[in-house]
Amino acid sequence: MPHVVFIAPRFLENTNRYVRAFALLEGVTLSLVSADPESAIPESLRAKVAGHYRIDNCVDASALAVAVRALADGVGRVDRLAGALEQLQMPMAEVRDALGIEGIGSEVARNFRDKDRMKDVLRAAGVPVARSGLATSMTALRMFIERVGLPVIVKPQAGVGARATYRITSAAELDALAAQGVVPTESKPLQVEEFVHAREHTCETVTIRGKAVWRSGTRYFPTPLEALESPWMQYCVLLPREDENTEHTKFHPVNDAALTALFGASASTAAGTALTHMEWFLRDDGTALVNEVGVRPPGVGIMPLMSIAHEADLWEDWAELVSFDRFTPKARKWAAGAAFLRGHGGGDHIVAVEGLEEAVAAAGDALVEIRTPKVGMARAEGYEGEGWATVRSATTDGAKQALLALIDRVRIHYG
Ligand SMILES: Nc1ncnc2c1ncn2[C@@H]1O[C@H](COP(=O)(O)OP(=O)(O)OP(=O)(O)O)[C@@H](O)[C@H]1O
Ligand SMILES: [Mg+2]
């Protein structure tokens, strides 16, 4: 029986879907590492957990190594180390290297985590990406802009959630950003990229030892950056009904080339067994560029959407994939979508929510689940808002209409 160690770090609703999937998977010995105490493991799953080790900080590679070593000593040799969060990927890779656990080591993990290196690796493999560089000074940043022209995007080298990501359209904006303290230095460089005018899509790919065996894709609208720049915008993700002969299918060869390049020489090993989340741009002229790739299950509600669209439980499927190198491709049954409900106005908490009942009525049968934003809730930091809804429909347009029905009617006010 493979011994799988899953890193929680906290037993929150979303994380518990993964914990549950591993706990219920036949033929696996499961151990958990978390920052939460053992008592926080969901009661119904506790009997299935062979070992638990608590550390204060799960992204600290040396603490993680102590935990995994202790579980190896107490429970048995560790065969797989798994975690769904982006911030865990580097420390997990370091622990695999240190303890000789199969899977992604730090060389490969860096290809996915360091945005500058990722783009270099992709470019070298002939995969289309935006012109980019790592600026270590204001002079270097200005030189990049001179070469590539405005607008540009400036973002952290290892970003997440589009935080600290800025579009710069003028010299004045660059100065304003610098005045705010956003200045690249040797020790805190900034990723700078040519601004791509395009629609944003995702491509979720299951690879087994480097070979793609299944894909699913979504479209973001508006883009995460636009959603952050315009806090009143409600943000949606749409997973289309069609899984053949679409702009997504046309992207598959690029997706293949990109993953092959990023997995590198490790592709045909356990390191090449993954569910990856690729964000890519589709320009009006039909050309595609890869933006970035996470070697982890997708966020922004895409796991639920994939589960709805394929009448599957993608958490269980991922657990099976990483534990056994096994995945059963799924047929698309529905189009699905997620709407992230965000507020208007200033203030740091919700003071009013309007239109919920009308929105639910208008979405009709398409509505799968809704998490309603409530008065008193703190304003959410990211583009995912304080509430969300998922929908499904037999047609892509049906799902789109249901999303519009929701976001046109729900009005959240901050105060
Ligand atoms: N070169 C670019 N051209 C145009 N828009 C960009 C570019 N790079 C990033 N963006 C915008 O900024 C958003 C965040 O950038 P990116 O995905 O690289 O960072 P992130 O912090 O990893 O985001 P997330 O965790 O939300 O996926 C993108 O989804 C896109 O909307
Ligand atoms: Mg991104």
Same domain, 210 and 190: no
Q: Enumerate the β-bridge partners of residue 289.
A: 281
What global pTM score does this model have? 0.96
For residue 186, what are the domain limits?
A: 131-194
Average pLDDT of the chain, as a whole number: 95
Residues whose CB is less than 8 angstroms from the CB of residue 108 and which lie 6 or more positions away in sequence, other chains included: 93, 262, 263, 264, 266, 271, 295
Q: Which residue among 167, 289, 291 has the greatest number of ligand 1 atoms within 8 angstroms of its CB, and so is best to mutate?
A: 291
> How large is the average pLDDT for residues 188-197?
96
CA of 162 from ligand 2 middle (Å) equals 6
**Per-residue model confidence (pLDDT) at position 364:** 97
Same domain, 359 and 403: yes
Average the pLDDT over each of 63-72, 156-165, 181-190 and give the range with the smallest value: 156-165
User: What residue has token string 């359209």?
Assistant: 169
Identify whether 111 is part of a domain: no
Q: Report which protein residue has its CA nearest ligand 1's atom 29.
A: 224
* CATH number for 142: 3.30.1490.20
> How large is the average pLDDT for residues 7-28?
97
CA of 160 from ligand 1 middle (Å) equals 9
What are the DSSP E strand ranges found in 300-378? 335-341, 343-344, 350-354, 367-371
Same domain, 149 and 87: no
**Per-residue model confidence (pLDDT) at position 331:** 96
Q: Which of 158, 176, 194 is the last residue of a domain?
A: 194
Q: Kindly report the number of other CB atoms within 10 A of residue 161's CB atom.
A: 15
Most confident of 60-74, 163-177, 236-250: 60-74
On the question of pLDDT at 57 being above 90, the answer is yes
Same domain, 319 and 226: yes
**Per-residue model confidence (pLDDT) at position 384:** 81
On the question of pLDDT at 157 being above 80, the answer is yes
109 lines ligand 1 (CB under 6 A): no
Identify whether 116 is part of a domain: no
Instruction: Give the torsion sign (CA, 301, 217, 292, 210).
Output: positive
Same domain, 370 and 260: no
136 lines ligand 1 (CB under 6 A): no
Same domain, 260 and 302: yes
132 lines ligand 1 (CB under 6 A): no
Q: Which of 305, 330, 355 is the last residue of a domain?
A: 330
> How large is the average pLDDT for residues 98-111?
98
- DSSP class of residue 379 equals P
Nearest to 290 by CA among 357, 217, 342: 217
Same domain, 21 and 33: yes
Residue 159 pLDDT level (bands cut at 50, 70, 90): confident
The H or E element that residue 326 is part of is none
Task: Note whether 334 and 351 are within 8 A (CB).
Answer: no
Nearest to 312 by CA among 200, 201, 204, 202: 204
* CATH number for 393: 3.90.1170
> How large is the average pLDDT for residues 173-180?
94
Nearest to 322 by CA among 363, 282, 270: 270
Total domain count for the chain? 4
Same domain, 356 and 407: yes
**Per-residue model confidence (pLDDT) at position 245:** 73
Task: Note whether 337 and 236 are within 8 A (CB).
Answer: yes
Same domain, 203 and 312: yes
In one-letter notation, the amino acid at residue 236 is C
**Per-residue model confidence (pLDDT) at position 228:** 82
Nearest to 348 by CA among 404, 413, 297, 280: 413
234, with CB counted inside 10 A (0-12, 13-18, 19+), is buried
Nearest to 394 by CA among 312, 336, 307, 313: 336
CA of 289 from ligand 2 middle (Å) equals 13
Identify whether 388 is part of a domain: yes
> How large is the average pLDDT for residues 251-276?
97
Strands 411-414 and 343-344: parallel
On the question of pLDDT at 68 being above 90, the answer is yes
On the question of pLDDT at 147 being above 90, the answer is yes
Task: Note whether 394 and 334 are within 8 A (CB).
Answer: yes
Dist CA 325 CA 270 (whole Å): 8
**Per-residue model confidence (pLDDT) at position 161:** 78
Same domain, 202 and 178: no
**Per-residue model confidence (pLDDT) at position 18:** 98
CA of 28 from ligand 1 middle (Å) equals 37
Bond preceding residue 151 cis, omega within 30 of 0 = yes
pLDDT tens-digit map of 300-341: 799 999 999 999 999 999 999 999 999 999 999 999 999 999
**Per-residue model confidence (pLDDT) at position 164:** 86
338 lines ligand 1 (CB under 6 A): no
**Per-residue model confidence (pLDDT) at position 410:** 94
CA of 95 from ligand 1 middle (Å) equals 28
Tokens encoding 142: 């200005």
Q: Which of 56, 81, 102 is the last residue of a domain?
A: 102
Same domain, 31 and 10: yes
On the question of pLDDT at 203 being above 90, the answer is yes
Residue 366 pLDDT level (bands cut at 50, 70, 90): very high
pLDDT tens-digit map of 38-49: 999 999 999 999
Identify whether 108 is part of a domain: no
Q: Report which protein residue has its CA nearest ligand 1's atom 31.
A: 225
Average the pLDDT over each of 104-118, 223-237, 287-301 and give the range with the smallest value: 223-237
Q: Enumerate the β-bridge partners of residue 29.
A: 3
On the question of pLDDT at 79 being above 80, the answer is yes
Identify whether 211 is part of a domain: yes
**Per-residue model confidence (pLDDT) at position 229:** 85
Identify whether 380 is part of a domain: yes
DSSP-assigned letters across all residues of 260-300: HHHHGGGTTSGGG-EEEEEEEEE-TTS-EEEEEEESS---T
* CATH number for 62: 3.40.50.20
Identify whether 117 is part of a domain: no
pLDDT tens-digit map of 244-253: 878 999 999 9
Return the ligand 1 atom nearest residue 194 CA. 1
Task: Note whether 240 and 310 are within 8 A (CB).
Answer: no
**Per-residue model confidence (pLDDT) at position 66:** 98
On the question of pLDDT at 70 being above 90, the answer is yes
Identify whether 120 is part of a domain: no
Same domain, 368 and 283: no
Tokens encoding 128: 């289309």
* CATH number for 281: 3.30.470.20
Nearest to 215 by CA among 309, 344, 151, 81: 309
**Per-residue model confidence (pLDDT) at position 231:** 78
**Per-residue model confidence (pLDDT) at position 202:** 97
